[in-house]
Amino acid sequence: MSKKSKINLSDLRGITNIIADATNNITDLVEEMNKRIVHPPFLPSTPIQHLVTNISNLTFKSIRLTTNLVSGGLDKTLALFNPQLGIDISTEKKETTLAVLNGVVGDYLQETNNSLEKSMEIRYEGTALSFDSSEIKKTIPKVNGKILLMVHGLCMNDRQWKYKNHNHGNQLASELNYTPLYLSYNSGLHISSNGQQLNTILEALSNAWPVPIEGISIIAHSMGGLVSRSAVHYASKEQKKWTKRLKKIVFLGTPHHGAPLEQIGNYIDRLFKLIHYIKPFARLGKMRSAGITDLRFGNLVDEDWKDQDRFEQRIDDRIFVPLPKKVNCYTIAATIGKEEKELSSILLGDGLVLPKSALGQHKKSDKKLYFKPSNSHIAFETNHMGLLNSLQVYDQIKAWFSSK
């Protein structure tokens, strides 16, 4: 039987705020569309056209005023109730929904202090760890010095490492005696922001670990690999101690040099801006999160996005971050094709990430990530999500973890 959680009053207030903002944004969009239809480009506007626009503006202002009044009233009313009251829902469904919401608009949730934003946590069997030695011992009865951290990707959560009744982390922990930990985070934030947070909490975790640490290993899926690389980069700059214990990182389908879907999304943004009547719809594309736009090139550091419009056309001018030294780095790319040179492999890859990006390959030598040939693997006839439950992938990871 699946565990039950609650949609509590805090969640309901967060949902109310999102609905209000969405209504106002749609109103703005319709208003702008109305102006573009009433006032065609390159033609003078008549008094009648101006009158129509003025009347319409009063209607749109009324909609916004009503929306804000209703939203504010609901929020104040909900605040009066017992915060423990709520609606039962399966924990898995609630976590999955919040993960998707955070991935798509996580930066908005943070900016508006919305209660639906996920905070970064390291979890063991679904329980968030407190960075206190005695508490860690209570949470993990069989704690040992071999830490395995699993880092999920965009719009996902720590529970989704279990995919079709298989979990790489738990299986490795069982067979090779690791303590499996799972990161949970808001994947809609900038990758560098999550990288810096991860750097901070890994330092706190390693300082509080109740037994001597033999080593830290990371398995990261998709965006999680970029977050992990960013964390190591900032840890090296700040000379954090946890990186001295870092032994291995395995990247699964990580878009080291960007993902096609976000690159296509940016082209669509630019196309919408060029056509008068659909230009207002460009604002819908701009609702996607900072985490998603970072996937255009695979941004890892603040300098890649600060003081820039993340939706504008740009060349790939991100700061190059090499693979960490003294850490064994491995990468697995997936492709739905049966062989590397098959057209579907070249054009589609695993459906979300192309093999060259996942393998760290780049046409410019100063942007290449130099994985050893023995540390690279391609999983054929496997899609992006299939990386999570492929036994072929698991066997390769296990072989790398078994070697010294």
CB atoms within 10 A of CB 92: 16
Task: Answer whether 200's CB lies under 8 Å from 119's CB.
Answer: no
pTM: 0.81
Question: For residues 121 and 110, what is the distance between their CA atoms, to the nearest angstrom?
Answer: 16
Q: How many helices (H) and strands (E) does the chain have?
A: 13, 10
The candidate with the shortest Cα–Cα distance to 133, out of 61, 212, 59, 17, is: 212
Cβ atoms 288, 104 nearer than 8 A: yes
Based on the number of CB atoms within 10 Å of its own CB, is 35 exposed (0-12), middle (13-18) or buried (19 or more)?
Answer: middle
CA 323 to chain centroid: 21
Using alpha carbons, select from 256, 210, 253, 209 the residue that is nearest to residue 230: 256
- CA atoms within a 13 Å half-sphere pointing along the CA-CB vector of 107: 18
Which fold would CATH assign to domain 121-258+318-402? Rossmann fold (3.40.50)
**CA atoms within 13 Å, Cβ hemisphere of 290:** 22
Report whether 348 contacts 340 (CB < 8 A): no
Distance of CA 256 to the CA centre of its chain: 14
Whole-number Å distance between alpha carbons of 34 and 50: 12
Q: Hey, where are the domains in the chain?
A: 4-89, 121-258+318-402
The tens-digit pLDDT sequence of the chain (404 residues) is 456 555 565 665 666 666 666 555 555 655 565 565 545 665 566 666 555 556 556 654 655 565 565 556 545 554 555 555 555 556 777 788 788 888 888 898 898 888 888 999 999 999 999 999 999 999 999 999 999 999 999 989 999 999 889 999 999 999 999 999 999 999 999 999 999 999 999 999 999 999 999 999 999 999 999 999 999 999 999 999 999 999 999 999 999 999 887 766 555 555 555 554 445 445 555 667 899 899 999 999 999 999 888 778 778 889 999 999 999 999 999 999 887 777 666 667 898 999 999 999 999 999 999 999 999 999 999 999 999 999 999 999 999 999 86
